[in-house]
Structure 1
């Protein structure tokens, strides 16, 4: 048994390298796209053909293949065919567990509707939540009262779930992106979905971050990431073998995609660095913030994910960030001479060592304070919605209220939170919708006005 474990530990680094190379290879993604497209031609049902072509479109990286797929898909994103994505629940299968619940989470009212016809603004994070609206409620009716702002969770987008919103109401659904490249992709189709140039990582409130002075920081390298294999902790472990042994390296994470901290620890052991890392499991958001403000450098090693809130959280903690140079991660666009470095696998150990030694020369918080606070994002979203309302001659007499991610959407101001309490009751009374964290109860209709004017 001991010999078998030793062999497994010996082979694990090689297996991780091979699996990672295949998972993130552009050639593999392109082959998968071509295979899905070919399979779609022999699929018997339109639903099967569409999900295969949407899958192919997500994976395609050549201009020729993308244009072919756009030609196939365009007519299915315009009336009268656009509703096929929601009627046939195309691409919904992996969300079935989430859809069992009717309660909306990670959602927040940014502005309430009023009796004079001014629409409210409802912010709904992630695909499973807007699928809940379609599955359990009358979303077209809700859109008579609210402008809907959705927030995507990944990039490239999960197209079938995004396209479930195509032409669902007279107004577009405003969809927050996860990567700057997603703006142009959405604009290729006439699906009445308006991409918004804001990412989840742009909703951080700097007031929660009190950075320690540089000379008092105790953690050399901090990695905040779920224990999923997609986070690629092993890249850090491989680099640590060539770095100083006295570095303090802290990993903060939670179980993810069937993996636990034990799986990550076994990887560290296979690389011979398990005795050089500290692991913190299931930390509170307050604990995460404390560690970020106590770190000299933060690392994010995913090859592909959404916008990565951890990156901008680290900025406000005044910790420079190291990311992979070829990462398809939204906030990679924010890495510059003030905020951090882009790593290459062959020089990663030397680059990280230099970042730690020179961390005082970076000023990520100052850059982020001037560019990407939740207050900047509130102004951007408010301006976009106000311009749209003006173009349609909708009344727009009140602005949306500021909110931030902590770790879910919450109001910046306690006053706004209190003033919008009636809006959640109104949302329940008129549409039956309950938002997690906001109390609503069934009460006699005569006891509550059908509209609020916050």
Structure 2
């Protein structure tokens, strides 16, 4: 456990760096010193915006690093554009290319173009390639169905009307520039990053280098702020969990014998913060409260978590249900009074909407990235700093029947409402960009085999899927075979 003093030192280091940059004093330092500084500052920003989020949220605020980077960018851009010293220009460009500043991805493209042999740029690109390769090999599968990566929402009717292509997984399969241009000639991209803190994944920049803007679906404020700062992007609040289809309650008056439900994969417990939830259960305000842990995961990780429950002496208060079929989850949720969500980063996480659909209010940590905090309100739940969680969880358990999250879900969210909102956003986008709009998109689902609300829509788009397959397969990395079933 990293203590608060360490996090405070990180914040002080960043504050000193930002103050130095605002005084235009950076380029007076040696190139080696500046390279070491860039590496340290990048690492610190990454660490704070991932693992240090609770401390950052409770002190400076999550937006602080982004805001400060946006303030130093004009100083650095001035050096790059106006300074006569080539070395100073180069150092300014490297800061602009490697920190989350406005137009970072454009600056990065410029640095890659004119400084291809610069060690920091070479290291950045090498690390990016290694990360992508690790993600691909980590899948453990050589065959990949297109419908598990993308979804056609609207067919192209060329030459005047483009289609809409939703990409929700493995965006790094699309980085070939010639391939991207070919697809973009036929489709507008609707991109849903799987996780929040999007600035870490600069491979998304490839989509912003096209002629048309690409559309990003992002739940979290900080991600919308960062992507809004990048050129050639259009940001909307809808993503993933917003498109959860409605279901009739299995029982209009279920027996509530569990106080808390915590839903998160056991294969990523550090991000989901399972162990923090166990610690919260020891708080005097939550003594004797019972919790249900739901999630998918490997048997090894599930066993490890159960041992942790035993170590905490909570076996009489904690139930673990793993790898349930999706259709069995609502019945388990019906037993619970409130949901608790502690994950460090998401992008419009499905499980929160599942809580609301099941009429379960939810408390979420203010440190969570990738969630639209406006969906937590007097009808649905609360947002709390980590230090406030025991008190607010206890209060919500006591008052759980005063919330009406299912009513809110039916009136404001779910597949039909969110698909309609997305359709309206897309219509406006097409109009602004001079494209005709003669047909609407099909309704979306948040997950499942192909993310279509109706199976016949997938069959309707099969010709377009086969065409995309013919374009995509030649550019795939070795060992990746794409398929279309049907």
TM-score range (shorter-chain normalised) is: 0.7 to 0.9
Q: Say if 1:82 and 1:167, in contact at 8 Å, map to a contact too.
A: no
Residue of structure 2 aligned with 1:114, choices 152, 157, 169: 157
Q: 1:429, CA displacement in angstroms? A: 3.6
Report the CA distance shift for 1:362/1:214 in structure 2 as closer, same or farther (over 3 A). Answer: farther
Change (3 A) 1:49 1:372: farther
Question: Cα distance 1:215–1:430, how it changes in 2: closer, same or farther (>3 A)?
Answer: closer
1:240-389 alignment runs, 5 A limit: 240-241=281-282, 242=284, 247-255=289-297, 260-343=301-384, 345-346=386-387, 348-389=389-430
Secondary structure at the counterpart of residue 110 of structure 2: coil
Q: Give the 5 Å matches for 1:93-112.
A: 93-99=130-136, 103=144, 104=146, 105-112=148-155
**Residues 148 and 174, structure 1, Cα contact 8 Å, conserved in 2:** yes
Compute the displacement of 1:136 (Å): 9.7
In structure 2, relative to structure 1, the CA distance for the partners of 1:145 and 1:29 (3 Å cut) is: farther
TM-score of the pair, normalised by structure 2: 0.72
Residue 61 of structure 1 pairs with residue 58 of structure 2: no
Q: Deviations over 1:406-447 (max 9, x none)?
A: 34651112332222222212222455489978426xxxxxxx
Please identify, of 101-110 and 370-379, the stretch whose mean Cα deviation from structure 2 is larger.
Answer: 101-110
* CA distance 1:240–1:189, change in 2 (3 Å): closer
Which has the larger displacement, 79-88 or 270-279?
A: 79-88
Asked if 2 retains the 8 angstrom alpha-carbon contact of 1:174 and 1:196, the reply is yes
1:44-443 paired onto structure 2 within 5 Å? 59=49, 61-62=64-65, 63-68=67-72, 71=77, 72-73=96-97, 74=103, 77=106, 81=110, 88=125, 91-99=128-136, 103=144, 104=146, 105-126=148-169, 129-135=170-176, 138-165=179-206, 167-190=208-231, 192-207=232-247, 210=249, 212-227=251-266, 228-241=269-282, 242=284, 247-255=289-297, 260-343=301-384, 345-346=386-387, 348-407=389-448, 410-432=451-473, 438-439=484-485
The 3 A distance-change label for structure 1 pair 254 and 379 is same
CA contact (8 A) 2:272 2:342 kept: yes
Q: After superposition, what is the alpha-carbon deviation per residue over 1:22-75, rounded to whole angstroms, capped at 9, x for unaligned? A: 89x476367479899999953999xx9998876666558344344335742347
Q: Give the TM-score, by structure 1 length.
A: 0.77
Which consecutive residues of structure 1, in runs of 5 or more, have no partner in the other structure? 1-17, 441-454
Change in 2 beyond 3 A, CA 1:52/1:331: same
Number of equivalenced pairs: 415
Contact 1:174 1:193 in 2 (8 A): yes
Between 346-355 and 363-372, the greater mean CA deviation after superposition? 346-355
TM-aligned CA distance change 1:370 to 1:275, over 3 Å: same
User: Contact conserved, 1:54 with 1:160, CA < 8 A, in 2?
Assistant: no
1:42 aligns with 2:45: no
User: Quick check: 1:254–1:260 contact (8 Å CA) kept in 2?
Assistant: no
Give the Cα–Cα distance (whole angstroms) in 2 for the partners of residues 418 and 164 of structure 1.
Answer: 32
CA distance in 2, matches of 1:335, 1:409: 29
Distance 2:280 2:128 in 1: 39
Distance in 1 between residues matched to 2:182 and 2:434, nearest whole Å: 20
Aligned equivalents of 1:174, 1:81: Cα separation in 2? 23
Unaligned runs of 5+ in 2: 50-62, 78-95, 98-102, 114-120, 475-479
